[in-house]
Structure 1
Amino acid sequence: MRIGMLTQWYDPEPGPASLPGALARGLVARGHEVRVVTGFPNYPTGEIADGYTQSRRMDEVLDGVHVRRVAVYASHDGSTVKRMANYGSFAGSAYASGLGALRGVDALWVNYSPVTIGLPMFAQLRRHGTPTVVHALDLWPDTLFASGFADGAGPGRFIHASLDRWTNRMYRKADKVAYISPGVGEVLARRGVPTSKLAYAPMWADEAAFQFSKPSDDRSSFEVPDDHTLLVYAGTLGSAQDLSSLVRAVAQVRDSPLTCLIAGSGTEEEGLRTLAKGEGATNLRFLGRLGRSEMRHLMAASDVHFVGLNSHPLAKITMPSKIQSILASGRAIVGTLEGDAADVVRAAGGWTVAPGDVAALANVLREVADAGRDDVIRRGAAFRRVYDKQFSYSLGVSRVEALLEDAVAGRCP
């Protein structure tokens, strides 16, 4: 097939933004022609990546994938106005300058987040009627409001209603709607998406970056004692990740053989550093944002990872992409989690407590430290087996490929 992809995020952008590129390469490897419409890379720094100069549009071929890049307002800071400008600029540019690259495709995969991508999607459907799979990697408008964009009163109520109508139209126009966690599928069904359209298609990890045989004993660069269990948090330092609970809990177990390293940056970084100092968390250090090779080294050195989400209705159906990355790396997880994410962690043999329960988290961290590295390493091997059975890259590409084929077949007389 000739497959089109609409996604604001694409290589060389890292983390979750790299997943569409992995999908494109996987489809090419299976004999498909793939054409991508995306923006100039600027995530997560908000600056155009080295090697690119922004213009109205640019075509390139990456790993056999035909990529058209269109202009975008580059910004990823905390400003709501700038965030909306970033989302909206890509939608407008893709509509005006990108769709020519999708002429003649047999099927279209749409990265549903952010939902402003509906603009070029609707235009593609109007012009060419392309069979379309919408992949709900985030649940909108819920995600936007959970981030504090607006409340449910006054103008916020109008915005919420408008986005509801917009997303519902995307569901109606799509031939298939894929979702990444069971809870999201249930919500979409309650919102009127026919079950015949819905399909479970969880995301995968960059397996080449996160595959290690066992935790590395070379931890000298991180100054971690040989007999300490190394707990790592890597990702955004924001309000949604329940990191204040982690800092307070780690401070309570500073007499245990456990060291915690936090890698990343975000709006809460300064506050978390202040909190750690005030709590006396001498067994915790902040590493800042790390490069790709440094992050790989940290993942190899780690024994166990923390994943947290604040208590919010959306958190119960959220599946953070870092869970798949940690599973693929063969590491165990300690989490302040509820719902779907907690189910995955517990089924793999990890530990979960309620978001915000510092005392319970401290008890778990003490248990992890006292059990020692060998026990944590054993649990990590079970996490990798869960990844291979449920979330592997090969399985993920097969699921999307089948949905695209079903979308095309559903249009045949």
Structure 2
Amino acid sequence: MKVLIVTPHFYPENFKCNDMAFELNKRGHDVTVMTAIPDYPAGKYHAGYGIFKRRRECVNGVKIHRSFIIPRGSGSSIRLALNYISYSLFSTIKALWFGLIHKYDTIIVHETSPVMVGIPAAIIKRLQHIPMVFWVLDLWPESLSAAGGINNKLILGLFNKLTRCLYENSDMILIGSKGYRTSINNKGAFDAKIHYFPNWVENELASDLIINDGIPKLPDGFNVMIAGNMGDAQDLPHVMDAATKLRDSNINFIFVGNGRKKSYVEEFARNHGLHKQVFCLGQFPLAAMPSLFSQADVLFMALKDDPIFALTVPSRLQAYMSSGKPVISMINGEGAELIQEADCGWSVPAGDSEALAELLKKISLLDKSKLVSKGLNGKRYSELHFNFEQCIDNLEQFIKLGNHKEIQAKHK
């Protein structure tokens, strides 16, 4: 089957669609990816890529076509807007001739942000009369207000109409969190199109291989590790408030990753005398994460107290569970419920830094066997529900189902 994947992010950027594209190609599908010049997470073009460099290439048998974008820079609102608009504009222009020259059997939209990534896919779908699978990883327009701080009713209304239109043009809508179903159905009668498709855990993260080269040794004490993007959604002000309350304890906060709020964490630690308890280690490759996780006592995540985030199961939670370490969270809704269902850790309500500080104090005094038991519960749950090969098996079935429905529609 000839599969077109439309996504704003692809290799060498590190996103789930990389695994999906390469695995589908390995299974015999002819896979093409329509994406952008890579600029994430540094905010500038990756080395070796540019306006006139490597706009077309083939990686692991997957054909890649890259549209021009204005790099996101430091991630300010203006630069992000320019980044989104430039991608949407130039990928839409490309879609007009792409859909006429190349023929595909199905389209998969990898919708992180922005939702406009679906526009070029919808154009090609219409030109070729083929099914479109819309993989929802970010709810729009809710994320504009929750993470982007945009509350203009006209702008939110326009994006609500655009999102509804894209859902209407989709033959299948895949959701990684069951809570997304309600939000999507509030925009129209889409329930029959919706299928649960949870994030898988990358093989590198699920590995038990421990390496030492280039891996820093964590400080003495009870180490709480926070891995992944450091952005507005991660509610870092409340995390740092909890760190302040634990100033006189042996509890350390270890940040692994990058993002627009990393400088905020570093500055806060300096200004509040937390430099001996708060450490920002920077970005590491996926293969290094099991070695870093193995040194932590617990893995921590937080999301802001906002209705959209209560519907979300962040992919880092599944990665944490696969590590065999207990999970601590300061979140509401779906993520907290998953931790409870898997019995793999503890949660406090989003934004409750007081409760977080008290919980961490309590857990730091627990017998190690209790932590080990919780961690093993998460690992077993992850192996059962977030297995990569099983997820791609399910995806292939979704694609076949979408094509079957399209064929039936043509013959009506």
Q: State the TM-score, normalizing by the size of structure 2.
A: 0.90
Corresponding position of 1:338:
332
Counterpart of 1:289, as a letter, is: G
State which of 396, 401, 409 in structure 1 corresponds to 2:391: 396
How far has the Cα of 1:9 moved from its partner?
A: 0.7
Q: State the Cα distance separating 1:134 from its structure 2 match.
A: 0.5
Match of 1:199 among 195, 201, 210: 195
Whether the 8 Å contact between 2:43 and 2:72 is mirrored in structure 1 is: yes
The one of 282, 295, 313 aligned to 1:319: 313
1:345-356 to structure 2, matched below 5 A, reads: 345-349=339-343, 350-356=345-351
Q: CA deviation at 1:112?
A: 2.3
SS in 2 for 1:233: strand
Q: Please say which of residues 232-241 and 195-204 is displaced more in the overlay.
A: 232-241
* 1:10 aligned partner: 10
Q: How far apart are 1:77 and its partner, in Å? A: 2.4
SS at 2:357 equivalent: helix
2:172 matches 1:173: no
Q: Distance in 1 between matches of 2:64 and 2:213?
A: 39
Q: In the comparison of the two structures, how many residue pairs are matched?
A: 403
Aligned-CA RMSD value: 2.6
Cα distance, 1:369 vs. partner?
1.1
CA contact (8 A) 1:55 1:70 kept: no
**Alpha-carbon shift at residue 231 of structure 1 (Å):** 1.2
2:353 aligned partner, one-letter code: V
* Residue of structure 2 equivalent to 1:100: 98
Q: State the distance in 2 between where 1:283 and 1:371 align.
A: 23
Identity %: 25
Alignment partner of 1:222: what SS?
coil
Q: Which residue of 2 aligns with 1:263?
A: 256
Name the CA distance, whole Å, in 1 between partners of 2:326 and 2:214: 18
1:302 match: 296
Match of 2:155 among 133, 156, 159: 159
C-alpha spacing 1:267/1:254, structure 2 compared with 1 (3 Å): same
Structure 1 residues 223 and 405: alpha-carbon distance in aligned structure 2, compared to 1, 3 A threshold: closer
Deviation at 1:55, TM superposition (A): 2.8
Unaligned stretches of 5+ in structure 1? none
Distance in 1 of aligned mates of 2:135 and 2:400: 15
Measure how far apart 1:41 and its partner are: 1.2
How far the C-alpha of 1:23 sits from its partner, in A, is 0.6
SS in 2 for 1:371: coil
Quick one: structure 1 residues 289 and 254, their matched pair in 2 at CA, closer, same or farther if it must change by over 3 Å?
same
Q: Write out per-residue CA displacement over residues 328-381 of structure 1, whole angstroms, 9 at most, x where no aligned residue.
A: 222221000110011111222210001222222122112221114443233212
Is residue 324–residue 387 contact of structure 1 (8 Å, CA) maintained in 2?
yes
Q: Shift of the alpha carbon at 1:283?
A: 5.2
- Match for residue 47 of structure 1? 44
2 CA distance for matches of 1:297 and 1:169? Answer: 45
2:28 is the alignment partner of 1:31: yes
In structure 2, what residue type is equivalent to 1:65? V
Distance 2:192 2:176 in 1: 16
TM-score (ref. length: structure 1): 0.89
Contact 2:211 2:288 (C-alpha < 8 Å) held by counterparts: no
Query: Is residue 2:358 matched to residue 1:363?
Result: yes
SS of structure 2 residue aligned to 1:231? strand
Q: Offset at 1:29?
A: 2.5
Unaligned runs of 5+ in 2: none
